[in-house]
Chains A and B, each alone.
Chain A
Amino acid sequence: MAKRIETVGLKAWFGAFLVLDGISLTIEAKQVTALIGPSGCGKSTFIRTLNRLHEVVPKARTEGTILLDGLDIHDPAVDPTALRRDVGMVFQRPNPFPTMSIRDNVGAGLRLNGVRKRGDLDDAVERSLRLAGLWDEVSNRLGRPGASLSGGQQQRLCIARAVAVEPDVLLMDEPCSALDPISTLAIEDLIVELKDQYTIVVVTHNMQQAARVSDVTAFFNIGGAGQPGRLVEVGRTSKMFTNPDDPSTEAYITGRFG
């Protein structure tokens, strides 16, 4: 449960285009780490390298080291598919599987990996939905399509789906950017609850959100158009938001650019 992530000199490309350069960052277990920075600075690409989803895109590649509790995830012996069971992900737009019911959506990760026993599946579905704070709202209509839920419920359904496979790390790529304030609040509360069990990395454009939910904040920035994203500064969220070391961090947080 809850593993520590360490990247050393991580670079990422799309084709010949370098989007991330030399990211060395340690993400502690059982904490919420927020990644902030202007659009196009590579925050999303960075978390997509952590579960090796980046390399699924044609011609995308990475260089450098990523350690998950000391294990090099690029080691040839590591199966990226198995890695993704340990490093789960929630996407920007809620994306429940359109042909599946609520129950099947939550159980998808288990079912598609060979878990067949109905009892085991039902237990996992209930546990995950409770964890995502959705059980009371959907327990009487588990057979309905996942797409029948509201946007905020769909996103919590996606969180339930991600935690159902019992990952060690949960990556969240702007999980609230498509949601209304009340759903956002529900997800933020959930993030804080989940950090007892998981290592959580949240990409966000919302400064207040970063301040509310995270323990550590990392600020990414780009030098200009066409240049790769770099890690500018990382520190305790309280310090980052009150007394950052780098002037560009302060400028970004106070809304002077980005």
Chain B
Amino acid sequence: MTVVGGVELHTSLRRRGTSRAVSGLLAVSVGVALLPLAAVLAYTISRGAHALSISFLTHSMKGVGPLDPGGGVYHAIVGTLEQVAIAAILSVPLGLLVAIYVVEYGPSRLAFLVRFFVDVMTGLPSIVAGLFIYAFWVLALDRGFSGLAAGLALAVLMLPVVARSSEEMLKLVPDELREATYALGVPRWRAIVSVVLPTASAGITTGVMLAVARVTGETAPLLLTAFGNDAIRFSPFRGPQSGLPLYLFSQAGSAFDVVVRRAWAGALTLIVIVLLLTVVARVVTARRR
């Protein structure tokens, strides 16, 4: 054994063994964590892929009887895209402004309160958000079921997630960069717009996309707001509209194989839409750098 100044240069067998055991444990943990994800994906693809067709993507359920084959998901895609777009248009700017206020203009009593309520809102059950919009918008203001009502309910759910994740990303921007900007005689608002936000943009986009992915699959709030519709409704402002989660909910409960198959194809469509949105957002932020 080589000994220099009393220190063994060869790694002892015990240390090598421990290192290998811990590495193995980590690899197994990663595998276990990925297993459910891979299983869900694989099963959805195996059940949904063969039912997915151009006809399925371009037809609604209008006039399709309970046991008829055919029918499709087009009306639900239209509904989901519009509802999620409305939710994002409302919650992303607001959530970002909340985060900017809390991080850049805090700490203050108001910033503390805002942060506290954002945390409380994060824990809000989604059915409660739906119930709130149902009671307030659909009934009290008498606006009826609509895609807009669904968008509002989803916005209530998205807002705290966007605000919280943006806040964390803004906090990661080192103060040195802010000070370097101030030191050039740049006003604070300009430093936020031109240095802090661009530096945090990749992280903020990730947070927004997670929020979008989360609300895209929300079902409970849609039951009380969009209500569901077998026909295509392009306008989100008036009357019941479908959505992919509602579509899944209505099809998956059936005892008939032809109906359940539509649910699987719809599930696959939902996953692909979220994936596409995420990829597009990534490409857009990457290009702006």
Contacts and interface: CB of A to CB of B under 8 A. Distances in A.
A91 B176 CA distance: 8
A182 interface: no
Contacts of A165: 184-185
B180 A85 contact: no
Interface in B184-223: 184-188, 190-191, 194-195, 198-199, 201
A112 B190 CA distance: 7
Nearest to B194: A112
Interface size range on B against A: 20 to 34
B177 A81 contact: no
Contact of B182 (A56, A93, A98, A161): A56
Contact of B185 (A81, A95, A111): A81
Nearest to B201: A99
B183 A112 contact: no
B105 to A, nearest CB: 11
B184 A161 contact: yes
A99 B198 contact: yes
B176 A53 contact: no
Interface SS, B side: helix
Contact of A99 (B180, B187, B289): B289
B181 interface: yes
A112 B191 contact: yes
B177 A97 contact: yes
A91 to B, nearest CB: 6
Interface size range on A against B: 20 to 34
Contact of B184 (A56, A58, A98, A108): A108
A216 interface: no
A88 B176 contact: no
B179 interface: yes
A35 interface: no
A82 B185 contact: yes
Given A97-B199, A99-B289, A109 B179 contact: no
Contacts of A199: none
A88 B185 CA distance: 8
A112 B186 contact: yes
B107 interface: yes
Contacts of A84: 182-185
A50 B177 CA distance: 19
A32 interface: no
5 contacts: A58-B107, A91-B183, A97-B180, A113-B184, A165-B185
- The 3 A-B pairs of least Cβ separation, nearest first, read A85-B185, A109-B184, A89-B183
Interface of B: 107, 174, 176-188, 190-191, 194-195, 198-199, 201, 289
